[in-house]
Amino acid sequence: MENSIAQVARNIVKGAPEPTLRRLPLYYRLLKQLRETGRTGVSCTLIGAELRLDATQVRKDIEMTGTVGRPKVGYDVNELICAIEKFLGWDNLTEAFLVGAGSLGEALMGYPGFSECGLSIVAAFDVDPNKCHRVIHGKHVRHISKMTGLMRRMRIRFGIITVPASEAQQAADLLIEGGVLAIWNFAPAKIQAPERVIVTNEDLYCSLAVLSQKMTRKLAESRSKGVA
Amino acid sequence: MENSIAQVARNIVKGAPEPTLRRLPLYYRLLKQLRETGRTGVSCTLIGAELRLDATQVRKDIEMTGTVGRPKVGYDVNELICAIEKFLGWDNLTEAFLVGAGSLGEALMGYPGFSECGLSIVAAFDVDPNKCHRVIHGKHVRHISKMTGLMRRMRIRFGIITVPASEAQQAADLLIEGGVLAIWNFAPAKIQAPERVIVTNEDLYCSLAVLSQKMTRKLAESRSKGVA
DNA sequence: TTCTAATAGAGAATTTATTCTCGATAAATA
DNA sequence: TATTTATCGAGAATAAATTCTCTATTAGAA
- What domains can be seen in chain B, in order of their start residue? 4-88 (1.10.10.10), 94-205 (3.40.50.720)
Contacts of B64 in chain A (CB under 8 A): none
Q: Report pLDDT for A2.
A: 40
Quick one: average pLDDT of A129-151?
A: 97
Confidence band (pLDDT; 50, 70, 90) for B30?
very high
Q: How many CB atoms lie within 10 A of CB A121?
A: 23
Nearest CB to B88: which of A15, A202, A213?
A: A213
Rg (CA), chain B: 21
Q: What's the per-residue H, E or C state across chain A?
A: CCCHHHHHHHHHHHCCCHHHHHHHHHHHHHHHHHHHCCCCEECHHHHHHHHCCCHHHHHHHHHHHCCCCECCCEEEHHHHHHHHHHHHCCCCCEEEEEECCCHHHHHHHCCCCCHHHCEEEEEEEECCHHHCCCEECCEEEEEHHHHHHHHHHHCCCEEEECCCHHHHHHHHHHHHHCCCCEEEECCCCCCCCCCCCEEEECCHHHHHHHHHHHHHHHHHHHHHHHHC
- Rounded distance between C-alpha atoms, residue B189 and residue B169, angstroms: 8
Q: Which nucleotide is nearest to A47 (CA to C1')?
A: D7
Question: What pLDDT, on a 0 to 100 scale, did the predictor assign at position A227?
Answer: 64
Q: Give the 3-state secondary structure of residue B42.
A: strand
B53 touches chain A (CB under 8 A): no
Q: Min CA distance, A179 vs chain B (Å)?
A: 14
pLDDT tens sequence across B112-122: 899 999 999 99
| Nearest-nucleotide field for A59 (CA, C1') | D8
Which tens digit of pLDDT belongs to each residue from B60-109? 999 999 999 999 999 999 999 999 999 999 999 999 999 999 999 999 99
